Amino acid sequence: MSEFSKDSFSFVTEKEKEHNIFRKSLTYWQDAWRRLKKNKLAMIGLAGIFLVIGFGVLGPLFTNVSYSDQQNDFKNLGPRLEVYEIAEGLYVHVSGDYHMFVVDNEQGQLQVLEEIEKEESVLDRSFTDGKIMSPAEKKKLQQEAKNNVESNSKTYEYNGQEIVLDYSNLVVDEPVGDYEYKITYNGIDTTQVYGKMANKEFPLGTDGLGRDLLTRIMYGTRISLIVALVATIVNFVIGVLYGAISGFEGGTTDNIMMRIVDIINSVPLILIIILMMVLLGNQGLWTIILAIGLVYWVGMARLVRGQMLSLKEQEFILAARTLGVSKRKIIMRHLIPNAMGPIIVSMTMMIPSAIFTESFLSFIGLGVSAPQASLGTLANNALGGILTYPYQLFFPALTIALMMLAFNFLGDGLRDALDPRLRKG
């Protein structure tokens, strides 16, 4: 065995005593936020959620109309307008209802042209003579009316000048050309479309009653956010507490509480809403909120119960029991805080499910009622004209899809960030 002498050792210098801290110590939540920021999709989802909240909550404050305001002169206008240039700098748009508008390309305003009343057409006069006509006579008169160009045109007035809209090419059996409309202004005929212009007055167009689609989508987004908020509160308050008590108590109490959950979960949500509507009447959004409050927490209760069954066997819970800590404090101060990671992830993933459920129920007529604007209601109203006005279905459906994607992206990111096994990553 070798011997050590005093000369074998040397004192540590002051510089060597310095301890370099390469990374400061982080708490669990600080570390989770650090890893969440590295997930690009999660941050995109978080930004999307903030945009959706601003769109639905603050957006209606900057509009001049409400979701129920009807402007029948502006019905079924798309986000982009097909225009004809009938004079230099004078652009007109013809809607699907044969209404004509002057489009101000600079200001983005639409001016409804006043239609000049004409005499009754041949068909109108024939059916008001008071005599009974045979089917052959009716068909003959209808064909005569079709061939009468005057009965298939409209005359408008603009700055004292007449503008004639001829749409007879759309109703006759043998079109005379490849144009849909012929517009005559100051004796000059226009049949070729000039181009398309953005509808600056109604950026997303209007529906069949002339209501601004952008405003209605804003209010529909607000309803979806209300449902998401209710689902979050119900899951956190009822689901977490119910599951925590069931898992911590165990035994007979756990069996009884879980059998109640099984019974509730076995009844379809649609059936519960129908029964509630029979008993309470159609309360619109309140019916959906009440239904979600009754049944939407069962999934969270099962998740939390599983967490409690594993956590209550840990040493720190045994220590708390040994010290005489009450059951309520053990659940509230030890068990639930240690299960917050899975709880937050589950709540985030359940929100898009609640949004889709509300939209689906409104789509089939069990949700909010007219004139309220839910995204599902907007999609249902657009079905009748889906081929003619596809934008009326596209924009509400796109809003639902973007909201669900944003919450799903954030939920996936939270699941990775809150996983204790990845804390060193």
**Residue 263, SS3 per DSSP:** helix
Contact of 321 with 315, CB cutoff 8 Å: no
Q: Are residues 268 and 166 in the same domain?
A: no
Domain end point (choices 164, 198, 232)? 198
In a domain, 20, yes or no: no
255 and 342 inside one domain: yes
Domain check: are 244 and 274 in the same one? yes
Cα angle: 396, vertex 401, 404; to 5 degrees: 125
Is residue 9 a part of any domain in this protein? Answer: no
Domain boundary residue, one of 169, 198, 227: 198
Q: Helix 340-363 crosses helix 375-382 at what angle (to 10 degrees)?
A: 30
Query: What pLDDT is stored for residue 370 in this prediction?
Result: 72
pLDDT of 46: 93
On whether the CB atoms of residues 101 and 93 are closer than 8 A, the answer is yes
**Rounded CA separation 342/346 (Å):** 6
pLDDT value of position 44: 94
The predicted structure's pLDDT at residue 51: 94
pLDDT of residue 121: 40
In a shared domain, residues 232 and 263: yes
Contact between 395 and 213 (Cβ < 8 Å): yes
Q: 218 lies in a domain?
A: yes
CA–CA separation, 300 vs 335, rounded Å?
A: 15
* CA 34 – CA 25 distance, rounded (Å): 12
Q: Which domain holds residue 307?
A: 213-422
**Low-confidence residues of the chain, pLDDT below 70?**
1-2, 16-23, 107-108, 117-151, 171-177, 281-283, 420-425
Judgement on whether residues 185 and 218 belong to the same structural domain of the protein: no
């669990």: which residue's tokens? 28
Residues 259 and 155 reside in one and the same domain: no
Adjacency order of strands within the sheet including 195-198? 110-112, 100-103, 90-94, 80-87, 195-198
Q: Which of 198, 225, 240 delimits the end of a domain?
A: 198
Quick one: pLDDT at residue 49? Answer: 93
pLDDT of residue 398: 93
pLDDT value, residue 8: 74
Alpha-helix runs per DSSP H in 281-369: 285-295, 298-311, 315-322, 327-329, 336-338, 340-363
pLDDT at 385: 81
Count the neighbouring beta carbons within 10 Å of the beta carbon of residue 61. 7
Q: Looking at the structure, tell me whether residues 166 and 296 fall in a common domain.
A: no
Residues 180 and 222 reside in one and the same domain: no
Together in a domain, 217 and 193? no
Whether 175 is in a domain gets the answer yes
Flag whether 63 is in a domain.
no
Q: What is the DSSP string of 9-25?
A: --PPPHHHH----SS--
Name the token pair of 348. Answer: 């985030």
| Residues 312 and 271 sit within 8 Å (Cβ to Cβ) | no
Among 242, 262, 264, 226, smallest CA distance to 351 is for 226
pLDDT of 405 reads 93
pLDDT in tens, 363-394: 887 777 777 788 888 988 888 888 888 999 99
The tens digit of pLDDT for each residue in 267-301 reads 887 788 778 777 776 667 787 888 888 888 888 89
Q: Domain for residue 11, yes or no?
A: no
Q: Is the same domain home to 360 and 229?
A: yes
Please name the amino acid found at residue 219. Answer: Y
Is there a single domain that holds both residue 219 and residue 361? yes
Query: Which CATH number goes with the domain that contains 313?
Result: 1.10.3720.10
261 within a domain of the structure (yes/no): yes
Mark whether 157 and 282 lie in a shared domain.
no
Based on the structure, what is the number of domains in the chain? 2
Give the separation between CA 396 and CA 216, rounded to whole angstroms.
9
Residue type at 270? I
| Residue 217 covered by a domain | yes
Spatial contact of 118 and 155, defined as CB atoms under 8 Å apart: yes
